[in-house]
Structure formats: C-alpha cells, structure tokens
C-alpha cells in the first residue's frame, strides 16, 4: 500500500490507524444513535402521520404542512384564526389565537405547535412560518406566475409552482 503522504515512520502509521479508527468509531456510534432517535429528531408530524394516529393526543406536538388555499378563516373580532394544514394526502385543522408571522399566507409552509384535540383539531399556541429555499426578485416571480397561469389557464388552480 503506497500512500503519497509525507514520510510515515512506523509510529505515525500506527497513529494514523488510531485516527481512522476514531473517525469510524464515532461515526458508527453516532449513526446508530441517530437511527434509534430518528422519529424524535423530526421537528413536526405531517398531516398524514396525524391521520394515521402516529401523533400523540393530549400532549404538545408540532404539525407541519402547507396552508390550504381558501381555508383561512379569521374571527370578526380578535385574533382568532382557523386554517387547514395539508401535505397533499391528509389535512389537519388548526385553531390559533395570536399574531401570525409575516410569511404566513395560503400555500405557505407552516409549523404549528399545540395539542391535538380528540376530533383531530390542533389547538395551537405557536405558529411558525417555514421559508422555502427559493430566492427571486418580484419581477421574476411575476413573470413565472404569468407563464404558469398561461400554461394552466382553464385547469384547476392550486398547487405549489
């Protein structure tokens, strides 16, 4: 085995193996730990998981999804708001009283934290907006939207671009 490294006496070779063993050992240990914990590391449940009964009721949980278009209903007075979170397969209704983040809008990714009621309604005490990875100037976004509308004119609206 010839490795192009600065001259490697016996001791150095042994220590290099030690470093390699350290990296591999820690890597394997952490991978196993993360594998065991993988459900708990997720920040939120999806509406499908809630529908499947995977999210505990009566405990504080987070549910994440897109705000369904046309589902946001605000109270006549006060800060009460109700909306539907969807992941395309299932939905969860969220009730919240408070100030919504700037990015909150229909179609936006949202993470709501609260307790799941027995009828599957999430009574939230915190609503966080999730930004996507896209950055574009408004003119470009307008042009994209127009092109999109031209191509789907007549078809059902909705869905992320």
Residue 144 is encoded by which pair of tokens? 């994209």
Closest to other proteins by CB, 46 vs 86, is 46
Rounded to a whole number of angstroms, the minimum distance from the CB of residue 77 to other proteins is: 22
- Beta-strand relationship, 73-74 and 91-97: unpaired
- Alpha-carbon distance of 161 to 128, in angstroms, equals 22
- For position 4 contacting other proteins by CB under 8 A, the verdict is no
- Alpha-carbon distance of 94 to 96, in angstroms, equals 6
Rounded to a whole number of angstroms, the minimum distance from the CB of residue 145 to other proteins is: 10
Among 32, 60, 140, 152, binds other proteins (CB under 8 A): 140
90, 62 contact by CB (below 8 A): no
- Give the footprint of other proteins on this chain (CB under 8 A): 6, 12, 15-16, 18-19, 22-23, 26-27, 30, 34, 38, 41-44, 46, 64, 100-103, 111, 126-142
């Amino acid at each position: 085995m010839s490795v192009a490294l600065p001259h490697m006496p016996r001791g150095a070779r042994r220590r290099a193996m030690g470093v390699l063993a350290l990296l591999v050992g820690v890597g394997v240990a952490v991978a196993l730990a993360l594998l065991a914990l993988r459900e708990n590391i997720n920040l939120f449940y999806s509406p499908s998981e809630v529908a499947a009964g995977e999210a505990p009721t009566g405990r504080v949980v987070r549910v994440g999804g897109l705000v369904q278009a046309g589902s946001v209903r605000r109270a006549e007075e006060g800060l009460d708001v109700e909306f539907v979170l969807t992941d395309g397969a299932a939905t969860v209704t969220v009730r919240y009283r408070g100030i919504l983040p700037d990015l909150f809008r229909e179609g936006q990714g949202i993470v709501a934290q609260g307790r799941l009621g027995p009828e599957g309604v999430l009574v939230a005490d915190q609503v966080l907006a999730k930004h996507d990875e896209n950055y574009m100037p408004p003119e470009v976004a307008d042009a994209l939207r127009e092109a999109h509308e031209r191509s789907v004119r007549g078809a059902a609206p909705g869905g992320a671009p």
